[in-house]
Chains A and B, each alone.
Chain A
Amino acid sequence: MSNNTKTPAKADLTDIRIIIGLALGLIGLFLLIVAIFGTGPEQLAKTGGINGNLWSGVGLLIVAVVMTIWWKINPDGGASSPSGH
């Protein structure tokens, strides 16, 4: 429908998926570091025994990896016209 020429199908850094992947990946790494060095009995009492930082960090890294892979293998992901034009 739109007559705008879209950017050619190539993974570039202006894609939201790589931005999400990088941001969540960094935050996930941060949580893992806190989980390794900062998990004391006081923190575990708050969560009722779950290592919240560890699991959340792992979850964020998984989302980050999925976003990055999607961006890599399908640069045009989700656009209306698969050809890019």
Chain B
Amino acid sequence: MAGVLMEQKVLLDAQWYDYVPIFIYFTFVIGVGFVMKAKAKSSDQFLTGGRSLPAWVTGIAFVSANLGAVEIMGMSANGAQYGMPTFHYFWVGAVPAMIFLGLVMMPFYYGSKVRSVPEFMFKRYGKIAHLINSLSFALAQLLIAGINLFLLGKIINWLLGWPLMLALIVAAVIVFTYISIGGLAAAIYNEVLQFFVIVAALLPLTLIGLHRTGGWSGLKEQITANAVAAGTDPALQLNSWPGQLLSGFSSPVMSVVGIVFGLGFVLSFGYWTTNFVEVQRAMASDSISAAQKTPIIGTFVKMFVPFLVIIPGMIAGVLVTEVAQAKNAGESFEYNNAILLLMRDVLPDGLLGLAITGLLASFMAGMAANISAFNTVFTVDLYERYLKPGQSDEKYLRVGKLSTAAAAIIAIFTALIASQYDNLMDYLQQLFSMFNAPLFATFIVGMFWRKASPTAGWLGLVSGTLGALTINILMWAGVLSLPGQGGAFLAASVAFVTDVVVTVIVSQVTQPKPAAELRGFVYSLTPKAERTDPHLHELPVWRRPVPLGIAAALLVVTLNVVFH
């Protein structure tokens, strides 16, 4: 799978000075760890960043933590292969869920002062649901950290010619160094720095690429010409709606329904609203309103990421000889390399070095986000909760650092597992559909329905996950056949519905938690003062969560209209 690039030594023709920005960036990355050392003295500061960061910082980190290898390589690959329907992963597939997270769910997460999403699960539903949540989350983080690390290792391998194993170890050591010294705050700071470096790397790539194709209209003409020559419908690539190439449904109506409910509701709400990697960034902010604004400010960033990722993919589809040939002939091709090949073809030395820096930054920060979420869940939800409760803070701080080391080492091994799958996107979506859609169902029922009982909580989770697993097994066995993302949508929908139905039924016959214990965790039992920011009225209107959320919603609708 990596053969194509290795034989041609694509990125090895970089000049010596292309390494300068890489050196500058990593000096700062390590430096941030040391700068933040003073802010990571207790286990709480280490794991929550001391709840002291402004909303724009956590908002950028919220997006950046998700802007790893899969987003950049995988989404540009989708852009090269399918074109504009890929926008939905960023718009329908993220923005509504992020606004919902900020306005509806964040007041509970932040206001209840839990340190992790699984901890919220513990307080709301008790032990069994908590164990399922924390164990599955911890496992998923190790897997995804491995995927990010593997892609990082592959890039270093191509660029510097280092053996993969050495690249994996060096990358893991760097991440371990700054997280173990500076904690979550260092991870968040580096995510913000990473974001700026990625934009600095991808914006010139996009603009120069568009210049080479004769602008946006030139790009569309060339895609049309190639598609017609290959006997396919260019409209499928040049319109984001109805997006049959993405949903896999041939009927336009079914495709729209599939994207809005499958991607826009069950998949994305499951992913964005309960994924602790994301929510953790908001929990590090300095007030309830800042926590609410974190994902909402994030949407403004998120909406424009596809222009820097998908459009270069589309450009590669016409400008890069290898990609264009494979696409026109319908041959199988490692589309994940599309953006690298475009960098080789259009970036001069200097910018090429910056582009490589951006990729390394992205893959490393993705992995770091997984590891910083893992160490919190391990320390707070597994070690402190079950293994050794009631220890000194120093002890937990040490466990936080040790679990960071353990995660970095395990990620090296999971990197080798990740190398076995060639379509990372499909693989991840299947994973998320099994864990996330039921989690969202359980959380949202639990936040708004006081009678949802502890037993119902874990039974709902288990049956929802089994529902998704059943669909996936039927698909793997070939009993069910849905092309594209149709299977992932179906699995997530089945998981969501099963979870809600089971939770409601079981709650009828089991005992709910006493009302006193649910204060802060259920809407009707939480006084308004505990879920709103007392200083909210001091902020100007445009810095309040609700107006910002409305602006984000209007903007994403506008983008969908313009790029329909």
**Which residues of B have CB within 8 Å of A2?**
51-52, 286-287
Using A31-B350, A53-B348, A79-B54 as known contacts, say yes or no to A48 and B193 having CB atoms under 8 A apart.
no
| Contact for A30 among B192, B345, B350, B538, CB less than 8 A | B350
Q: Tell whether B351 is near chain A: CB-to-CB under 8 Å.
A: yes
Name the interface size band of chain A.
35 or more
Using A2-B52, A19-B32, A52-B204 as known contacts, say yes or no to A27 and B24 having CB atoms under 8 A apart.
yes
**Separation of A83 and B159 alpha carbons in the complex (Å):** 48
Residue contact A14 to B38, C-beta cutoff 8 Å: yes
Using A47-B212, A81-B535 as known contacts, say yes or no to A19 and B28 having CB atoms under 8 A apart.
yes
Give A80 Cβ to nearest chain B Cβ, in Å. Answer: 4
**Separation of A44 and B350 alpha carbons in the complex (Å):** 12
| Contact for B349 among A1, A38, A63, CB less than 8 A | A38
Which of chain A's residues has its CB closest to B354's CB? A27
Give B33 Cβ to nearest chain A Cβ, in Å. Answer: 12
Residue of B35, B288, B534 with most chain A CB atoms under a 10 A cut-off: B35
Give B75 Cβ to nearest chain A Cβ, in Å. Answer: 22
Residue contact B200 to A16, C-beta cutoff 8 Å: no
**Which residues of A have CB within 8 Å of B354?**
27, 31, 56
Residue contact A48 to B212, C-beta cutoff 8 Å: yes
Q: Tell whether B55 is near chain A: CB-to-CB under 8 Å.
A: yes
**Which residues of A have CB within 8 Å of B197?**
23-24, 27
In A1-45, the 8 Å CB interface with B consists of 1-2, 4, 6, 13-14, 16, 19-20, 22-24, 26-27, 30-31, 34-35, 38-39, 43-44
Q: Tell whether B162 is near chain A: CB-to-CB under 8 Å.
A: no
B interface: dominant SS: helix
Which of chain B's residues has its CB closest to A76's CB? B54
Residue contact A19 to B52, C-beta cutoff 8 Å: no
**Separation of A31 and B203 alpha carbons in the complex (Å):** 15
Q: Tell whether B216 is near chain A: CB-to-CB under 8 Å.
A: no
Residue contact B348 to A52, C-beta cutoff 8 Å: yes
**Separation of A35 and B288 alpha carbons in the complex (Å):** 46
Using A47-B212, A52-B204 as known contacts, say yes or no to A27 and B21 having CB atoms under 8 A apart.
yes
Give A54 Cβ to nearest chain B Cβ, in Å. Answer: 10
**Separation of A27 and B17 alpha carbons in the complex (Å):** 12
Residue contact A38 to B28, C-beta cutoff 8 Å: no
**Separation of A6 and B285 alpha carbons in the complex (Å):** 12
Q: Tell whether B189 is near chain A: CB-to-CB under 8 Å.
A: yes
Residue contact A80 to B346, C-beta cutoff 8 Å: no
Residue contact A23 to B535, C-beta cutoff 8 Å: no
**Which residues of B have CB within 8 Å of A60?**
200
Residue contact B56 to A78, C-beta cutoff 8 Å: yes
Residue contact B21 to A30, C-beta cutoff 8 Å: yes
Q: Tell whether B462 is near chain A: CB-to-CB under 8 Å.
A: no
Give A77 Cβ to nearest chain B Cβ, in Å. Answer: 7
| Contact for B193 among A4, A19, A30, A80, CB less than 8 A | A19
Using A1-B534, A20-B193 as known contacts, say yes or no to A39 and B204 having CB atoms under 8 A apart.
no
Which of chain A's residues has its CB closest to B346's CB? A46
**Separation of A51 and B206 alpha carbons in the complex (Å):** 14
**Which residues of A have CB within 8 Å of B192?**
16, 20
Q: Encode contact with A along B31-66: 1 for CB under 8 Å, 0 otherwise.
A: 110011011000000000011101111000000000
**Separation of A14 and B345 alpha carbons in the complex (Å):** 39
Residue contact A4 to B348, C-beta cutoff 8 Å: no
**Which residues of B have CB within 8 Å of A69?**
none
| Contact for A39 among B21, B211, B287, B348, CB less than 8 A | B348
Given contacts A16-B57, A80-B286, 6 further A-B contacts (CB under 8 A): A4-B52, A19-B28, A19-B32, A27-B200, A30-B21, A56-B203
**23 A-B pairs (CB sep. < 8 Å):** A2-B287, A14-B35, A14-B39, A23-B197, A24-B197, A27-B25, A30-B20, A34-B350, A38-B349, A46-B348, A47-B347, A47-B348, A52-B347, A53-B348, A53-B350, A55-B204, A56-B200, A59-B200, A63-B196, A80-B285, A80-B287, A80-B290, A81-B538
User: Which residues of A approach B to under 8 Å, CB–CB?
Assistant: 1-2, 4, 6, 13-14, 16, 19-20, 22-24, 26-27, 30-31, 34-35, 38-39, 43-44, 46-48, 50, 52-53, 55-56, 59-60, 63, 77-82
